[in-house]
Amino acid sequence: MKTSHILIVDDEATLRQTLARILQQAGFDVTTAENAEQGIAFLKTSAFDLIFSDLRMPGMAGLEALKYIHAHYPNLPVVLFTAQPDINSAVEALRYGATDYLLKPLTPDVIIERTQAILKNQKRENRKREIALQISALQAELATLESDTDAPKTFSAPPEAERYLKRGPIALDLHARRVTLDEEIISLPPTSFDYLLTLMRHSPNVVDFQTLVAEAQGYQAEIREAQELAKWHIHQIRQALEADAPKPGFLINIRGVGYKLVAD
Pairwise pLDDT comparison (162 vs 28), residue with the higher score = 28
179 phi and psi, to 5 degrees? Answer: -110, 135
| Residues 201-253: tens digit of each pLDDT | 998 899 999 999 888 887 777 888 888 888 888 988 998 888 887 888 899 99
Type of residue found at 109: D
Nearest to 11 by CA among 77, 72, 79, 82: 82
Hey, how many other C-beta atoms are within 10 angstroms of the C-beta on 118?
Answer: 24
Residue by residue, what is the 3-state secondary structure of the chain?
Answer: CCCCEEEEECCCHHHHHHHHHHHHHCCCEEEEECCHHHHHHHHCCCCCCEEEEECCCCCCCHHHHHHHHHHHCCCCCEEEEECCCCHHHHHHHHHCCCCEEEECCCCHHHHHHHHHHHHHHHHHHHHHHHHHHHHHHHHHHHHHHHHCCCCCCCCCCCCHHHHEEEECCEEEECCCCEEEECCEEECCCHHHHHHHHHHHHHCCCCEEHHHHHHHHHCCCCCHHHHHHHHHHHHHHHHHHHCCCCCCCCCEEEECCCEEEECCC
pLDDT at 60 over 90: no
Tell which wins on pLDDT, 108 or 145. 108
What's the topology of domain 5-120? Rossmann fold (3.40.50)
Question: Using CB atoms within 10 A of its CB, is residue 93 exposed (0-12), middle (13-18) or buried (19+)?
Answer: buried
Say if 5-120 and 159-261 have the same CATH topology. Answer: no
pLDDT at residue number 34: 93
Q: Confirm if 77 and 122 have CB atoms less than 8 A apart.
A: yes
Confidence of residue 157 (pLDDT cuts 50, 70, 90): very low
Q: How many CB atoms lie within 10 A of CB 97?
A: 20
pLDDT confidence band for 153 (50 / 70 / 90) = very low
- Per-residue model confidence as pLDDT tens digits over 70-92: 888 888 899 988 877 666 777 77
What are the domain boundaries of the chain?
Answer: 5-120, 159-261
Per-residue confidence band for 149, with pLDDT thresholds at 50, 70 and 90 = low
Higher pLDDT, 140 or 256: 256
What average pLDDT does the chain have?
84
Pick the CATH number of 159-261 from 3.30.420.40, 2.60.120.10, 1.10.10.10, 3.30.413.10: 1.10.10.10
Radius of gyration of the chain, Cα coordinates, nearest whole angstrom: 20
User: Three-state SS string across 49-82, please?
Assistant: CEEEEECCCCCCCHHHHHHHHHHHCCCCCEEEEE
- Cα 116 to the center of its chain, rounded Å: 14
